[in-house]
């Protein structure tokens, strides 16, 4: 006769606690659906199914107690002794929706990041060719330099995108071994030495008193060190110091890259590992950043069973610490 009369005759949970999502009380059997679930949309579907004996349903957005997206299907069942019956099947698809959003955001960001340098290249070429600047050697060289810089930026971005995709797909493939961290740190510092010297930044290596080896993948660790030291140099002003140290810490080997740089505002700390996230977009671009470095680092660390943390103080500096299992504690 009305939705108020339709009572719940059974609640069954498969993989997910749907009863918790709908905040169903323990004693729901025999009580009207209307009383238990205050979702007009769901009531409408149930009424439709009971009235027209058709399948109804769609997506339902729950906000309380947490934000969730449910896919709901209401199906007619053969009539029981007390009248029409319907079965409500609700599947929690929040994770799927979130992944879709992340993917869409990623494609939009990647296209935008590629579009910007491409627009500058096009503008330079148009000015050179249509504007006649090609005949003035000085102007021509200036424009060609911009073209070359922007092409490098696109190249860098595409490489980072490819690395990220590869790392995300490679998760299970890493073969972990004891790694000679001292030699990797020395090599990575060697690669950054020139840039650091140009900026008058000193790079310091502080090995532990007792040697310790992490269980890791050499190529990944090289990439992690290059990225963290490169960032430390990029975001530190002239006269600063970048220190790389590592030490045993229980079952872990703790590697730290610390700088005396500009720091990261507190409210951004949680987000800097996200793809394309930058505190200061203009500054990152100026120093040749893509906004992908830290998300690549985070994935590489996690693929080796480790974790990464950041601590920072504005104007004082930033410290990234990477925790990897100690090889001697986990042989073979
Ligand atoms: P980018 O290519 O922009 O450097 P990353 O993913 O490596 O991208 O870093 C994301 C953002 O985190 C940077 O844009 C910068 O704002 C901030 N950041 C990273 N490392 C440091 C650091 N050592 N000091 C200050 N800010 C940093």
- The answer for residues whose C-beta is within 8 angstroms of residue 29's C-beta and 6 or more apart is 8, 9, 10, 11
> pLDDT value at position 1?
36
pLDDT of residue 326: 95
pLDDT, tens digit (0-9, with 9 covering 90-100), for 126-142: 988 887 888 888 889 99
The alpha carbon of 47 and the centre of ligand 1 are apart by a number of angstroms equal to 54
CA of 246 to the centre of ligand 1 (A): 21
Among protein residues, the one with the nearest Cα to ligand 1's atom 11 is: 278
**Ligand 1 centroid – CA 180 distance (Å):** 27
Q: Which residues line ligand 1 (CB under 6 A)?
A: 231-232, 235, 259, 261-262, 264, 272, 277-280, 284, 289-295, 318
For the residues of 172-200, what is the DSSP string, one character each? GG---EE--HHHHHHHHHHHHHHHHHHTT
Joined tokens for residue 38: 């205050």
Residue 316 has pLDDT above 90, yes or no: yes
pLDDT value for 80: 72
List, as own/partner pairs, every contact residues 208-211 make where C-beta atoms lie below 8 angstroms and the sequence separation is at least 24, other chains included: 208/245, 208/246, 208/247, 208/248, 210/248, 211/182
Return the residue whose CA atom lies nearest to atom 2 of ligand 1.
Answer: 289
pLDDT attached to residue 2: 45
Output the residue whose Cα is nearest ligand 1's atom 4.
Answer: 289
Atom in ligand 1 nearest the alpha carbon of residue 160: 2
User: Tens digits of per-residue pLDDT, 247-292?
Assistant: 999 999 999 999 999 999 999 999 999 999 999 888 887 777 889 9
Structure tokens that stand for 297 in this block: 């680092």
CA of 205 to the centre of ligand 1 (A): 21
Residue whose CA lies nearest to ligand 1 atom number 19: 231
Mutation probe of ligand 1 site: the residue of 243, 257, 264, 317 with most atoms within 8 A of C-beta: 264
Nearest CA to ligand 1 atom 7: 293
Instruction: Compute the distance from residue 231 Cα to the ligand 1 centre, in Å.
Output: 6
Region 74-86: what's the mean pLDDT? 82
Q: Which tokens sit at 149?
A: 């810089």
Extract the tokens encoding 312. Answer: 């920072």
């Amino acid at each position: 006769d009305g939705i108020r009369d339709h009572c719940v005759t059974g609640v069954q949970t498969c993989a997910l606690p749907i009863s918790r999502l709908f905040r169903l009380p323990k004693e729901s059997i025999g009580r009207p659906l209307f009383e238990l679930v205050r979702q007009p949309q769901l009531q409408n579907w149930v009424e439709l199914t009971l009235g027209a004996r058709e399948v109804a349903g769609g997506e339902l957005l729950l906000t309380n107690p947490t934000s969730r997206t449910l896919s709901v299907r209401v199906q007619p069942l053969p009539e029981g002794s007390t009248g029409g019956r319907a079965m409500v099947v609700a599947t929690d698809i929040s994770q799927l929706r979130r992944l879709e959003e992340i993917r869409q955001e990623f494609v939009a960001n990647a296209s935008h990041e590629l579009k910007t340098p491409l627009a500058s290249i096009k503008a330079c070429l148009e000015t050179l060719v249509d504007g006649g600047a090609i005949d003035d050697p000085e102007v021509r060289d200036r424009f060609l330099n911009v073209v070359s810089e922007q092409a490098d930026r696109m190249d860098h971005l595409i490489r980072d995108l490819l690395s990220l995709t590869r790392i995300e797909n490679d998760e299970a493939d890493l073969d972990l071994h004891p790694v000679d961290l001292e030699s990797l740190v020395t090599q990575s510092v060697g690669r950054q030495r020139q840039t650091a010297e140009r900026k008058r930044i000193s790079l310091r290596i502080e090995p532990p008193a007792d040697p310790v080896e992490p269980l890791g993948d050499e190529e990944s660790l090289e990439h992690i060190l290059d990225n963290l030291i490169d960032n430390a140099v990029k975001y530190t002003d002239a006269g600063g110091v970048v220190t790389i140290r590592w030490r045993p810490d229980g079952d872990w080997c703790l590697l730290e890259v610390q700088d005396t740089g500009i720091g990261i505002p507190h409210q951004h700390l949680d987000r800097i590992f996200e793809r394309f996230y930058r505190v200061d977009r203009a500054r990152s671009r100026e120093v040749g950043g893509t906004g992908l470095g830290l998300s690549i680092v985070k994935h590489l660390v996690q693929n080796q069973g480790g974790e990464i943390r950041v601590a920072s103080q504005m104007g004082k500096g930033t410290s990234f610490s990477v925790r990897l299992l100690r090889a001697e504690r986990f042989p073979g």
